[in-house]
Amino acid sequence: MQNLVGIFRTEEDLHSALKKIEQLQERSEQLAVSGSRMFNPGWHLARDLKSMLTVSEAATRSALARRESRGAHSRIDCPNLDAAWGKQNTVISRRGRSMELRQMPVPQMPGDLQSLLADEKGAGA
């Protein structure tokens, strides 16, 4: 993940990362740990591996879909901001063994929070 889905990303690297994640998911199905869970970091790591791979896949698929750069998501191949992406969130759902990505509008900020931010802007903060 650090090498291919770090802060600076390209479509090619993201596709490579997805392939590696899929290979690791296949290998993880054969995973077994001996001994008990007491004083056994391998047991905990094996138990957490499925979740780590799920999160890695979700982050990679989201980064691949988002064809812009914003904040800590820097697509070298898509260096500009896209205003449309600032108005939507990416939502990922697991469907069997695959993931479904969809965009949903960013919910409107509650009025009390809007006024608080406006007050801070006015104060020069």
* Rounded Cα gap, residues 57 and 97, in angstroms: 11
Instruction: Tell me the Ramachandran region of residue 32: left when phi exceeds 0, alpha when psi lies from -120 to 50, beta otherwise.
Output: beta
- Collapsing DSSP to helix, strand or coil, 11 comes out as helix
Percent of the chain at pLDDT > 70 equals: 97
pLDDT, tens digit, 9 for 90 and up, residues 87-105: 999 999 998 889 999 999 9
Q: Nearest 5°: phi and psi at 97?
A: -100, 0
In the chain, what are the domains? 8-122 (1.20.58.100)
pLDDT, tens digit, 9 for 90 and up, residues 39-61: 888 888 888 999 999 999 999 99
Residue 121 has pLDDT above 90, yes or no: no
pLDDT of residue 31: 86
